[in-house]
Every structure is written in C-alpha cells, then in structure tokens.
C-alpha cells in the first residue's frame, strides 16, 4: 500500500456521477457538417493547409502545428472542405476563431494509417510525430502532449502519474473510459513511460469509481504499474494537488510538476496516445459526457467539430426548461454562449443547465471574514484577503498575497456563506494584471526602439565628426609635415576631439523624445551644423601659435 | 464560474449562534429570573429597528441584510453582558450605539473594526457605571423574586412591586465581591466561603458558564467557529491564573474559578470568536485568543473593572490587522521563509 499524503482544504460537492456513469460509451453518429477549430490546445493555433473545395480523407492533416507549443489538427471524417473561416468556438471569451468547415461525404475513408514504432525510432522523432498527430491533454487543460513527453535531460522524471481522479461533479468520461478501455490506457502509459524513462507508474483513481478501479487493476496485472485509490475529495484531480497527495511533494510556485520529478497525464490522453502510436490514428474524436438537464445522460465518442446542438440531442430531445450549457464541471466550467459551437479536444463534459439543477445563487452579502474559504483552499491562500484586494483594485497587494498561485478551483466560492463569486474576482484581477503587464511591455518596447534610434543617430553623428576631424588632421599633416610642432598640434587636436566626444555623450537629447520625425530631422541637421562649427572653433586655438 | 454552492448562508450561521446561545439563556432564566428575557427582546427590537433605519439611510436593500441575523447576534450578546434589570433606555442606547456607530459607521456588516456588542457595552459601562453594576442576585440567594411582568415594569418604569426593595433582588457579582474583599485583607479562602460562591465560580453563574461551554461546543461541532480562539483564550486565562494561584493561593483565586465566572465562557465561544473583528489566520487566532485570555486575567486581578472580557476583546480588535499581517500561512509551493515574492 502506498502511503497517501493529502493536501490542505478541499470540498465534497454532491457528485451527480450516477446519472451518466451507468451507460456505456456510445459512438456519436456522423454529422453532416463539421466545424473544426484550428486552435484546440494551449499555444499557437495550427496553420490551415487546406483550401475550400478540397477533398480530405478521415485523419488527413488540415492544420499544421505552428511553433513549439502547438499541435496539428486533422479532418475528423472524409469529405469536402467548404470554408476556412472564423466561427464561434467553445471558449469563455465567446470570440470566434478560425475553423475548417468540412462537409462529410459519409464514406469515412481513412488516410493511410502509419503506426509509430516508438521502441525503435529516435524519441525526438516520436515526439514530432505525436505533435503532427494532434495529441494534446484531454483532461481539460489541452497542453500539447509531445512537449510534456520531452523530459529536460538534466531533470529526469522518475514518476509518471496517470490521472483517473475525475473530481468534478457530473463528469464521467474518464470513469467510463477506464471501465471500457483499460488495456488501451495501459498501452498508452507504456509509451509515456518509455519516452520519459520513468521509474514508476502510478494510476490514481478516486474511491468513488469502483468499476474503473477494478478494470484498471485487471489491465495493469502484468505490469508493475500501481493502481492507487485516493479519497474522493475535490480537487484531487488537479495536477499539483494529486502530486502532493501521492508524493507529499509540493510543486514550487510558478514551477512545473517535473521540478519534483513527476509528470501527470490524464487517462484519456493515454488512450489517445495508444490510438495514435499503435494504430496510427490522429486525435479526431473524444469522449464527452452529456449530462444535467437531459433525458438520457450518457458518454459519447464524438468527432471533433461536431456541433454541440447535435451532440446534446443524442441524450434525448432537450428539455424545455434548459437554460443553457456548461462546458466542463460545475466548479471550474463555463457557460457556452451558443449551441452551435463544435466539440473540441478540451470538451470533457457538457452539462445542460436548468434552474432546478443549478438554482441561481442568492445576492452576495459582504464578506464576514468567517475564513471558511481559507479552510478549504488547497493552496492555503487567504481567499478573503485576495477578494478584498481584487475588489479594491489593489492588484499589487493581490499579487503579493500570491494571487497567481490560485488554481481557480472554486472551493472558496463553494463554501462562502455570503455567496461571493470569489473566483470571478480572482480572474478579473489576473486579467487586469496581465493587461497591465502587456501594456507595460509594449511601452517598454516602444521606449527601447526609440532609445535605440537615438543611439544610432548619436553614433552616426560621432562617426561623422570623427571622419571630419581625421580629414582635417590628415590635411594638416600633409600640409605641415616638416613643422616641428606637428606632434603637439596633433595631440591638441586629439584632445579636442576627445573633449567634443565627451561633451556629446554628456548631452542626452531627452527633450526630443516626443517630436515627430521631420522635426527630429531638422534638429539633427542643426546639430550637425553646430558640430562642424564647434570643430572649426576648436581647431583655431591649435592653429595660432 | 462556480455554479454550485454549499447550502450555507450568513443568516444560517447567525441563526446557529442564536440557537447555541439558547441553552445559556435558559440557565440564566432558571438561576436569575426571567428579567433577561425582557432585555433580550428589547435589545433585539432596538437592533432591528436601528439596522433597518441605517440601511435605509445608506441606500441599501434592507431585507437580505436584516435577515442575515447579525444585528440580532449583536443585540443578544450585548443584552447578555448587561445587568438584566438595567432600565430600558440603557439597553436601547447601548444597542443603538453598537449598531449605528460600531457597526455601520465602520462600513456595516463585515467591515467593522470593533466588536459592536462589546463597544456598546463599554460605552455604557464608562458612561453609566452605577446602572451597569446592578446585578440581580441568584434566585436562591435573593430575598424577593420578580415575575416576568414585575421585571418588565421595573425595567420600563423603575417601580418595584410593593414591599420589594432593590437590595432584596440585587447583589454584588462574584468577581466584584472577591475583588473588594481581597482589598479588605481577606484571603481567597475566606471570601469564597460566602453563599455567593458555588463549587467553581459564583453560585448559579457557574451553571450558566457551563451552558455557554456546551453551546460553544455545539458551534464548534457545527463548524460555525474554529477551536483556535476559545482554546487559546481559556488556556491563557487558566495558565495565568494558575501561575499566580500557585504563587500565592491566599491572594489569587484558583484558575477554574476564572473559567467558571463572569464573561469568560461567553467571551471565549461567542464574543472573541466574532469572525468580522477577529484575525483570519489560524496562527493569528491563537495569538488573538491567548492575548485576550491574558488581558482578562490582568484586568480582573489588577485592573479597575471587575471583569475584563469586553476591554480585552476591544484592545485586541485593534491589533487584528497587524496579527494577520505577520501570521500569513505558508502558501503551498512556496518556501517556508516568509513572504518570498518570486
Ligand atoms: S467564505 Fe466568504 S464570507 Fe467567509 S471569509 Fe471567505 S469570502 Fe468572506
Ligand atoms: S479558487 Fe483559488 S483561492 Fe479559491 S480555493 Fe481555489 S485556489 Fe484557493
């Protein structure tokens, strides 16, 4: 038995898992039209590589990874590209993003599948292939998988953790996946272990998923993977909390899990990895829990790009009192502002809302400093203080009190008797701070550019002055070579140049920073004339004996 | 967004506090007569009226705030700290001060720096000392008894039923008596043999203290309060008393006497635990509670007032921002060194 360490705080909201956990995963029928966003992961959007009118096969590349934190995007089915255009996507901002619209031909013709021989290929080659197959974390954070499988040489990752702690209420996609496809998850974990060269593999599952635990135990029987049952407590499925729970180690603030020798992957990611490596299938579908105010809550294997409206009808015609849809869980999820958004890699769960299931919270009252929030905070922050600072727009103070260590788990808001939407305040404060930082950076860049330009002008001026001086010296030299005073004169001239240079360096033209370019040019010309004059004057004393 | 919330509200928390106070109030009625019910009612009405008025003046929505129950808690704690036979205007004035000045002039619910009930109490104590020291005698010691109606008539009009004198129904408090008698050169042992004293503290009042203790434990169990403040306060009071008692048992009364007498238990579980005016960090709560316990002992033993809970709480209220500042817990993922800002 592995010793568990626990983490501070945590809450236990009503689970609502049984609604959807009883039925098997059902394949979603192919929609007529798919809208595939080019950005479905954290990082840069993929670059579209298809044109409208172009025919594509199932699994064909339609967007190429762009930059280090980016993965490719593929056609979820065969058909014709109809458009590459902005479209509403599931994102809290509600802003449209570039998507590839594909009209399905219903034939589901695959591209040639090429499995990856990961045991014999160079690891970096394997990683590139994974990037090109569109693998990103399926736990909700959608971080490119290949990046996480790239251990920094001097920092080994002895512990690989498969995260089967689906701690948010309502969501059961990982639970069902573990029950039904445990061997595939284990196969995926093998690949991860190989690439990370991990010493141990831990599969962590919360104790409210007995069948999943049994299935994973069975699948791990011939391996040295360890299935660890952890207590059901939100947010044990959050990476840093899970690491602390399993190892007692704290991921340093602002650091990564690899800093403490652990890498955590969602079980869904392991499954996707198995499909990609052993079967040559890029990531074009995922399991989504459709639950809440629907008639038959269930998990569906849905193609990416499937419109939400079609997905939710699979769980029965929508109930009349449905007021909208939440993507993710009720603790950290967000409202979808349209039912036309597509299924994406991050969509682990869709909850239909109704007043009955999610009654509106009462009017927020002032904070009474009861510290219930602090008692449940898994990061041991003082949420009531952060709230106070955020409200007062005292962002510096909020940052000093470690605002950026907040994982936005919502435990504090869950227990607050004054019903203050605490996390909303933290998000607001964070975004304000980011905006200010961006502004500052932009201003810094502008200033740097400006200063650089001034420096260049200065340098050019100096060079010109030097050239002039040298010319003068040269002409003197040739004219008065036999003059015994030549040496002294030369030294005097040199000193004068030196003086002029020092003087110029001392004068920083600070007052010109706000002027338009033509004015600057004028000033520059005047300066140049003055410089000539100065030189002329300096030459004179040397000339007169 | 967090779409779900625990079914808890400020009103529920305050309601639990009021319920937990019920036990001690019942004991109060049994041992000291029903007069306390009159002053509790009076204070409650005054508090609600003041709260509604001020909310109105400040342009707030009245209903949700009135329902939060915080005004009632203030009213009850103040009434329970005052002599129950105090005239009506004293109760009203104290409550009004607590609600209007100590609470709302500091910004209302959640913003006040001082414990409103204790601020009201101290104002009355320094302004009307004679009225504030007229405590009723325990029923078994009193020479006359007041019914609920008699008590109400006395509180509102100052008239006692025919044949009853004030001396027959009032008496010095155990702490008061101890202090004056010790000054006169008696030993602790001689003083506490008087009928005013029971097994641990004052006769009757020790039972009430026990009832506050039970009510406090209920609040602990219900997670309305945490253990830090009460434990630290009672432990500090006990430790200080023990130290002096061991040093000279004739001049310094036993530590359990301090716990069982006066406002110690009520203060530890219901007053010092006021979240709004207390520290928020676990360490801060321990410091805050311990300092109050110590101050209570010092004021009782060496100060000019018989009981010190109100002063101790108010003094420590002022230190809360500082205490919070220096007791920030280590955030997960940060070094144990304080306030790293990386
Ligand atoms: S739980 Fe709410 S009321 Fe209590 S301290 Fe935290 S923010 Fe304030
Ligand atoms: S949302 Fe942030 S402050 Fe609130 S409990 Fe979670 S980590 Fe703590």
pLDDT tens per residue, range A341-369: 999 999 999 999 999 999 998 889 999 99
Residues B212 and B269 in one domain: yes
Distance from the Cα of A256 to chain B's closest Cα (Å) equals 10
CA angle B335/B338/B342 to nearest 5° reads 60
CATH number of the domain within which A294 lies? 3.40.50.11540
Provide the CB-side half-sphere exposure for A310 (13 A, CA).
Answer: 19
**Pseudo-torsion of CA B10, B14, B17, B23, nearest 10°?**
-140
Q: What would the two tokens of residue A355 be?
A: 């007043």
Residues B162 and B25 in one domain: yes
Residues A244 and A136 in one domain: yes
**Distance in angstroms (rounded) separating the CA atoms of residues A183 and A191:** 13
Which residue numbers in chain B have pLDDT < 70? 337-342
Model confidence at A512, in pLDDT bands (50, 70, 90)?
Answer: very low
Closest ligand 1 atom to the C-alpha of A419? 2
- What percentage of chain A carries pLDDT values higher than 90? 71
Distance from the Cα of A132 to chain B's closest Cα (Å) equals 33
Note whether B225 contacts A: Cβ–Cβ < 8 A.
no
Cα separations in angstroms, A397 against A392, A409, A412, A437, B122 = 10, 21, 19, 15, 35
> Which protein residue's CA is at the shortest distance from atom 1 of ligand 2?
A408
Distance from the Cα of A199 to chain B's closest Cα (Å) equals 24
* Among A529, A525, A469, A476, residue whose Cα is nearest residue A501: A469
Query: Would you say the CB of residue A411 lies under 6 angstroms from ligand 2?
Result: yes
φ/ψ of B283, rounded to 5, equals -65, -40
What pLDDT sits at residue B279? 96
Mean pLDDT of A456-474: 85
Residues A286 and A391 in one domain: no
In a domain, B95, yes or no: yes
Domain count, chain A: 3
Query: Would you say the CB of residue A411 lies under 6 angstroms from ligand 1?
Result: no
In a domain, A229, yes or no: yes
Q: Kindly give the interhelix angle for B309-326 and B116-127, rounded to the nearest 10 degrees.
A: 140
Whether pLDDT at A527 is above 60 = yes
Query: Would you say the CB of residue A251 lies under 6 angstroms from ligand 1?
Result: no
CA B166 to chain centre: 25
In a domain, A99, yes or no: yes
Q: How far is the CA of A375 from the centre of ligand 1 (A)?
A: 10
Whether pLDDT at A146 is above 90 = yes
Place of tokens 């040739």: A478
> For residues A420 and A364, is the Cβ–Cβ distance under 8 A?
yes
Residues A268 and A144 in one domain: yes
Query: Would you say the CB of residue A410 lies under 6 angstroms from ligand 2?
Result: yes
Does the annotation list A373 as a binding residue?
yes
> For residues A40 and A345, is the Cβ–Cβ distance under 8 A?
yes
Q: Which residues of B touch A250 (CB under 8 A)?
A: 332-333
- ipTM for the whole complex: 0.89
In a domain, B149, yes or no: yes
Residues A503 and A376 in one domain: no
Annotate A488-515 with three-state secondary structure. Answer: HHHHHHHHHHHHHHHHHHHCCCHHHCCC
Distance from the Cα of A5 to chain B's closest Cα (Å) equals 14
What pLDDT sits at residue A477? 58
Q: What is the largest CA-CA distance in chain B?
A: 77
Residues B155 and B287 in one domain: no
Q: What would the two tokens of residue A446 be?
A: 């502008």
Residues A163 and A265 in one domain: yes
Tens of pLDDT, residues A409-428: 999 999 999 999 999 999 99
Model confidence at A449, in pLDDT bands (50, 70, 90)?
Answer: confident
| Interchain CB contacts (distance < 8 Å): A and B | 130
* Among A31, A124, A62, residue whose Cα is nearest residue A282: A62
What pLDDT sits at residue B101? 94
Does the annotation list A412 as a binding residue?
yes
Q: Which residues of A touch B342 (CB under 8 A)?
A: 253-254
In a domain, B164, yes or no: yes
**Distance in angstroms (rounded) separating the CA atoms of residues A513 and A520:** 9
Tens of pLDDT, residues A530-542: 666 666 655 544 4
In a domain, B209, yes or no: yes
Residues A63 and A209 in one domain: yes
Does the annotation list A220 as a binding residue?
no
Q: Please, which residues have CB within 8 angstroms of residue A192's CB and are 6 or more apart in sequence?
A: A149, A160, A198, A201, A263, A265, A270, A273
Helices marked H in chain B — which ranges? 10-32, 35-57, 62-67, 70-81, 88-96, 116-127, 129-132, 148-157, 166-169, 174-183, 188-191, 205-221, 228-247, 255-260, 264-266, 282-302, 309-326
In a domain, A221, yes or no: yes
CA B114 to chain centre: 13
Q: How far is the CA of A237 from the centre of ligand 2 (A)?
A: 14
Residues B135 and B32 in one domain: yes
Which of A383, A429, A430 for mutating ligand 2's site (highest number of atoms within 8 Å of CB)?
A383
Which of A291, A337, A368 is most worth mutating to test chain B (most B CB atoms within 10 A of its CB)? A368
In a domain, A316, yes or no: yes
Residues B17 and B162 in one domain: yes
What pLDDT sits at residue B340? 42
Please name the helix (run of DSSP H) or strand (run of DSSP E) that holds residue A265, with its range, or none: strand A262-266
Q: What would the two tokens of residue B232 be?
A: 């630290």
What pLDDT sits at residue A489? 72
Question: Do residue B280 and residue A369 have CB atoms under 8 angstroms apart?
Answer: yes
Other beta carbons within 10 Å of B130: 6
Whether pLDDT at A7 is above 70 = yes
Which of A244, A255, A369 lies closest to B275 in CB terms? A369
Residues A343 and A411 in one domain: no
Q: Which residues of B touch A326 (CB under 8 A)?
A: 1, 3
Query: Would you say the CB of residue A11 lies under 6 angstroms from ligand 2?
Result: no
* Among A5, A411, A473, residue whose Cα is nearest residue A231: A5
> Which protein residue's CA is at the shortest distance from atom 3 of ligand 1?
A367
Per DSSP, the three-state class of A33 is: strand
DSSP string, B91-120: HHHHHHIIIIIIIITTTSTTT-SS-HHHHH
Nearest residue of chain A to residue B68 (CA atoms): A365
Residues A349 and A376 in one domain: no
Q: What would the two tokens of residue A305 be?
A: 């790009």
Q: Which residues of A touch B13 (CB under 8 A)?
A: 368, 370, 417
Which range among A134-138, A162-166, A238-242, A359-363 shows the weakest confidence by mean pLDDT? A359-363
In a domain, B71, yes or no: yes
CA angle A197/B333/A148 to nearest 5° reads 30
Residues B188 and B160 in one domain: no
In a domain, B108, yes or no: yes
Give the global pTM. 0.84
Question: Do residue B3 and residue A333 have CB atoms under 8 angstroms apart?
Answer: yes
Per DSSP, the three-state class of A7 is: coil
In a domain, B3, yes or no: no
Residues B118 and B177 in one domain: no
A55-56: strand order across its sheet: A33-37, A96-104, A79-88, A55-56
> Which ligand neighbours the alpha carbon of A430 most closely?
2
Residues A378 and A344 in one domain: no
Which range among A5-9, A140-144, B6-10, B186-190 shows the weakest confidence by mean pLDDT? B186-190
Which of these three, A430, A452, A468, is where a domain ends?
Answer: A430
Q: Please, which residues have CB within 8 angstroms of residue A206's CB and are 6 or more apart in sequence?
A: A164, A165, A166, A167, A229, A230, A231, A232, A233, A236, A237
Which of B6, B70, B332 is most worth mutating to test chain A (most A CB atoms within 10 A of its CB)? B332
Residues B132 and B254 in one domain: no
> Which protein residue's CA is at the shortest distance from atom 8 of ligand 2?
A377
Residues B280 and B220 in one domain: yes
CA B48 to chain centre: 20
* H and E: helices and strands count for chain A: 15, 17
In a domain, B335, yes or no: no
Residues B270 and B151 in one domain: no
Q: Which residues of A touch B9 (CB under 8 A)?
A: 362, 365, 417-419
Residue numbers of the domain that contains A533: 495-537
Residues A180 and A320 in one domain: yes
Does the annotation list A370 as a binding residue?
yes
Q: What is the mean pLDDT of chain B?
A: 90
* Among A281, A289, A214, A355, residue whose Cα is nearest residue A59: A281
Which range among A205-209, A355-359, A507-511, B249-253 shows the weakest confidence by mean pLDDT? A507-511
Other beta carbons within 10 Å of A391: 14
Q: How far is the CA of B275 from the centre of ligand 1 (A)?
A: 10
How many residues can be counted in chain A? Answer: 545
Strands A285-292 and A298-303, sheet pairing: antiparallel
Whether pLDDT at A483 is above 60 = no
Domain count, chain B: 2
Residues B211 and B298 in one domain: yes
Residues A504 and A392 in one domain: no
What pLDDT sits at residue A535? 64
Residues B116 and B176 in one domain: no
Residue numbers of the domain that contains B296: 172-326
Euclidean distance between the first and final Cα of chain A, in Å? 100
Which of B6, B109, B328 lies closest to A414 in CB terms? B6
Mean pLDDT of A495-511: 60
Q: How far is the CA of B162 from the centre of ligand 2 (A)?
A: 65
Q: How far is the CA of A322 from the centre of ligand 2 (A)?
A: 29
Query: Would you say the CB of residue A46 lies under 6 angstroms from ligand 2?
Result: no
Residues A213 and A280 in one domain: yes
> Which protein residue's CA is at the shortest distance from atom 2 of ligand 1?
A416
What pLDDT sits at residue A384? 96
Tens of pLDDT, residues B241-280: 999 999 998 889 889 999 998 899 999 999 999 999 999 9
């Amino acid at each position: 038995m592995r010793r568990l360490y626990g983490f501070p705080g945590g809450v236990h909201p009503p689970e609502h898992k049984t609604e959807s956990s009883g039925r098997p995963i059902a394949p979603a029928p192919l929609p007529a039209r798919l809208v595939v966003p080019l950005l479905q992961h954290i990082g840069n959007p993929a670059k579209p590589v298809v044109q409208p009118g172009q025919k594509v096969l199932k699994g064909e590349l339609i967007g190429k990874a762009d930059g280090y934190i980016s993965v490719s995007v593929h056609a979820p089915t065969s058909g014709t590209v109809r458009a590459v255009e902005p479209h509403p996507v599931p994102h809290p901002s509600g802003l449209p993003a570039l998507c590839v619209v594909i009209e399905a031909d219903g034939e589901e013709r695959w591209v040639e599948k090429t499995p990856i021989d990961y045991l014999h290929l160079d690891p970096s080659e394997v990683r590139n292939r994974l990037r090109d197959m569109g693998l990103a974390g399926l736990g909700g954070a959608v971080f490119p998988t290949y990046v996480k499988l790239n251990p920094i040489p001097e920092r080994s990752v002895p512990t690989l953790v498969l995260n089967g702690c689906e701690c948010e209420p309502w969501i059961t996609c990982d639970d069902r996946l573990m029950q039904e496809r445990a061997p595939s998850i284990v196969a995926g974990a093998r690949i991860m272990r190989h690439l990370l060269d991990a010493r141990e593999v831990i599969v962590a599952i919360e104790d409210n998923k007995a069948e999943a635990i049994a299935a994973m135990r069975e699948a791990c029987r011939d391996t040295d993977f360890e299935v660890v049952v952890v207590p059901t407590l939100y947010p044990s499925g959050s990476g840093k909390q899970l690491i602390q729970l399993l190892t007692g180690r704290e991921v340093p603030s602002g650091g990564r899990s690899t800093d403490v020798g652990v890498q955590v992957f969602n079980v869904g990611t392991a499954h996707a990895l198995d499909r990609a490596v052993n079967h040559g299938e890029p990531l074009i579908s995922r399991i989504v829990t459709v639950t809440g105010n629907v008639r038959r809550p269930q998990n569906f294997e849905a193609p990416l790009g499937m419109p939400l409206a079609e997905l939710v009808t699979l769980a029965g015609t929508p109930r009349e009192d449905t007021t909208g849809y939440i993507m993710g869980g009720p603790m950290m999820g967000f409202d979808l502002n349209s039912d036309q958004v597509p299924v994406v890699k991050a969509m682990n769960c869709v909850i239909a809302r109704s007043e009955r299931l999610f009654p509106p919270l009462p009017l927020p009252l002032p904070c009474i400093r009861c510290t219930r929030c602090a008692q449940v905070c898994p990061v041991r922050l003082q949420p009531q203080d952060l709230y106070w600072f955020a409200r007062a727009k005292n962002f510096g103070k909020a940052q000093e009190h470690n605002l950026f260590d907040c994982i936005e788990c919502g435990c504090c808001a869950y227990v607050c008797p004054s019903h203050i939407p605490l996390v909303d305040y933290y998000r607001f404060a964070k975004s304000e701070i980011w905006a200010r930082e961006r502004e500052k950076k932009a201003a810094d860049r502008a200033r740097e550019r400006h200063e650089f330009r001034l420096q260049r002008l200065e340098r050019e001026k100096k060079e010109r002055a030097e050239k002039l001086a040298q010319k003068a010296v040269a002409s003197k030299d040739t004219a008065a070579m036999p003059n015994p005073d030549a040496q002294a004169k030369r030294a005097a001239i040199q000193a004068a140049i030196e003086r002029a240079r020092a003087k110029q360096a001392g004068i920083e033209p600070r007052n010109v920073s706000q002027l338009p370019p033509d004015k600057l040019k004028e000033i520059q010309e005047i300066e140049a004339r003055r410089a000539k004059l100065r030189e002329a004057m300096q030459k004179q004393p040397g000339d007169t004996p | 967004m967090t779409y779900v919330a625990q079914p808890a509200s400020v009103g529920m928390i305050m309601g639990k506090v009021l319920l937990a106070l019920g036990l001690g109030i019942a004991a109060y009625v049994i041992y000291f007569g029903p007069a306390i019910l009159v002053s509790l009612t009076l204070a409650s009405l005054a508090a609600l009226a003041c709260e509604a008025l001020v909310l109105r003046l400040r342009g707030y929505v009245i209903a949700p705030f009135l329902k939060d129950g915080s005004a009632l808690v203030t009213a009850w704690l103040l009434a329970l700290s005052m002599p129950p036979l105090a005239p009506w205007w004293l109760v009203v004035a104290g409550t009004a001060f607590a609600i209007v000045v100590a609470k709302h002039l500091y910004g209302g619910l959640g913003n006040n720096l001082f414990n409103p009930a204790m601020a009201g109490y101290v104002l009355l104590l320094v302004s009307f000392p004679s009225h504030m020291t007229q405590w009723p005698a325990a029923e078994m010691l009193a020479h006359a008894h007041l019914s609920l109606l008699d008590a109400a008539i006395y509180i509102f009009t100052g008239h006692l039923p025919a044949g009853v004198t004030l001396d027959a129904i009032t008496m010095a408090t155990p702490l008061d008596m101890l202090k004056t008698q010790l000054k006169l050169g008696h030993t602790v042992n001689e003083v506490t043999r008087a009928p005013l004293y029971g097994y641990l503290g004052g006769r009757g009042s020790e039972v009430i203290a026990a009832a506050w203790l039970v009510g406090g434990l209920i609040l602990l169990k219900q997670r309305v309060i945490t253990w830090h403040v009460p434990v630290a306060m009672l432990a500090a009071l006990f430790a200080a008393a023990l130290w002096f008692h061991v040093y000279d048992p004739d001049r310094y009364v036993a530590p359990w006497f301090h716990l069982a007498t006066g406002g110690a238990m009520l203060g530890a579980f219901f007053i010092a635990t006021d979240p709004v005016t207390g520290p928020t960090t676990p360490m801060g709560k321990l410091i805050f509670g311990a300092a109050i316990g110590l101050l209570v002992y010092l004021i009782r033993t060496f100060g000019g007032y018989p009981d010190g809970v109100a002063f101790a709480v108010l003094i420590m209220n002022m230190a809360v921002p500082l205490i919070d500042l220096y007791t920030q817990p280590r955030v997960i993922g940060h070094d144990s060194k304080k306030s790293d800002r990386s």
